[in-house]
Structure 1
Amino acid sequence: MEKDIRQSLQEHIFRLENRRRELMRPEYLRLGLTIGQGQSRILMYLLTEDGCSQREIAENCHLDVTTLSRTLDRLAEKGLLERRINPQSRRECQIFLTEEGRKTAAEVCSCFRETEKKMCSGLTEKELEALDAGICRMLGNLTEA
């Protein structure tokens, strides 16, 4: 039985993400990070949004709040971030990168850029735009479902 294009596409997306993770894994290990727990996304987000709340991180990094709390604990244990009480709301913490966290986040960004270059090699800007538009539409379809 021949695969339909939708099955093929789903398989390619799965394999693409797995291969991307394989490529990045050695760099993550060198940095002391765990791939697949959102650590890199959190660090990259804090690089531009330092001092935000846990809720903001969860929303912008698309992470479950429970998972996020444990991940933040791990990053804090590694000395990459710290929690501070929000002076305007004592019930809320603000999350800040440490100096070491800033260095690690910059290295994570560099790793992502290198991986993106490899992944997009040989594709024209027009092809990338079409691919982006298609994936955005698919994501919208799943969000509406």
Structure 2
Amino acid sequence: METQLDKRFGFLVADVDRLCGTRFDELARSSLNLTRAQCRVLAYLSHYGEVNKARLADLLGVAPISAGRLLDRMEEGGWIERRLNPDDRRERQVSITAKAEQALDRARRVGDEIAAEALAGFSKQESEQLIGLLQRVRGNLSKIVDR
């Protein structure tokens, strides 16, 4: 068993996530009026469309109550809207606003800049291979976790 942290898969993935997040915060401070967590909400809503709070909390890896507080602040800021689900009146669907779409474009540019920094020195083929490998890892784990 490998004991060096810099060679352990889980540690490396977590550390890359931490470093990317820290860099995102640094770059976003000057160009966005949103936190990293809020940008993640917008990215998921843009990708998945309207979802309920429970699904969004699951995607974010937080408790529903934490997602609810985050969504309250975002709704107050005009970033998201919550509507009753026509199929289940007990549930509210969360969607992105036009204001948020514009901010999300800026957030994606920040993400692209971080990716360019992180992949500096990689060939295009190496970058594509790394992305493909990570997609496979996600697929493998999704089969187990999302049963």
TM-score, L = length of structure 1: 0.72
Tell me, yes or no, if structure 1 residue 33 matches structure 2 residue 34: yes
- 3-state secondary structure, aligned to 1:69: helix
The answer to which of 107-116 and 79-88 deviates more is 107-116
Check 1:127–1:77 CA distance in 2 against 1; reply closer, same or farther (3 A cut).
Answer: closer
State the 1:60 CA deviation.
Answer: 2.8
Which amino acid is the alignment partner of residue 33 of structure 1?
A: L
Tell me, yes or no, if structure 1 residue 58 matches structure 2 residue 57: yes
Check 1:61–1:15 CA distance in 2 against 1; reply closer, same or farther (3 A cut).
Answer: closer
Which amino acid is the alignment partner of residue 20 of structure 1?
A: C
- 3-state secondary structure, aligned to 1:84: strand
Tell me, yes or no, if structure 1 residue 24 matches structure 2 residue 24: yes
Corresponding residue number in structure 2 for 1:112? 111
- 3-state secondary structure, aligned to 1:57: helix
- Contact kept? 1:44, 1:106, Cα under 8 Å: no
CA distance in 2 between partners of 1:14 and 1:119 (Å):
15
Check 1:40–1:53 CA distance in 2 against 1; reply closer, same or farther (3 A cut).
Answer: same
Corresponding residue number in structure 2 for 1:7? 5
Report how many residues are paired: 139
Gaps of 5+ in 2: none
TM-score, L = length of structure 2: 0.72
